[in-house]
Structure 1
């Protein structure tokens, strides 16, 4: 991860079941609203905890992308 790298966070509301794992793993980046996860901010500085949250999501509802080229970073497919 290079200094200054920015990522885009997206939670697919049609896949999210509100398990809350993401909010537990990366509470500074995810909150539960009306039983579903939402990113606190769509654009973030690269943060390893977000990758852990995306990989921990039971339905792979969280997508982390590189902000510059929108290349998917997590979850690994």
Structure 2
């Protein structure tokens, strides 16, 4: 399973980073970014929760 963030559409709310810090963090330049190549099995649910909770729907987990 992989995760992506459309950084241009990110409003920098930080929800994804607080929901699933094993996969997402806030970038030094502002928008969220993915920090792993593959989403670990142990955090798949929280990565999907971050996707579903994103207020601007710029996260894709598949």
How big is each residue's C-alpha offset from its partner over 1:15-62, in whole Å with a ceiling of 9 and x where there is no partner?
Answer: 111110000111111110111100111322331000100011000010
Provide runs of 4+ in structure 1 moved above 6 Å.
none
Structure 1 vs Structure 2 CA RMSD: 1.0
Can you give the 5+ residue segments of structure 2 that lack an aligned partner in the other structure? none
Which structure is higher in RCO with an 8 Å CA cutoff and minimum separation 6? 2
Structure 1 equivalent of residue 9 of structure 2: 15
Q: Secondary structure at the match of 1:43?
A: coil
Higher helix share: 2
Contact 1:23/1:31 (<8 A) preserved? yes
* Aligned counterparts, 1:1-77, within 5 A: 7-33=1-27, 34-46=29-41, 47-65=44-62
> Aligned-pair distance for 1:14?
1.9
Q: How many matched pairs?
A: 59
Q: TM-score, normalised by structure 2?
A: 0.86
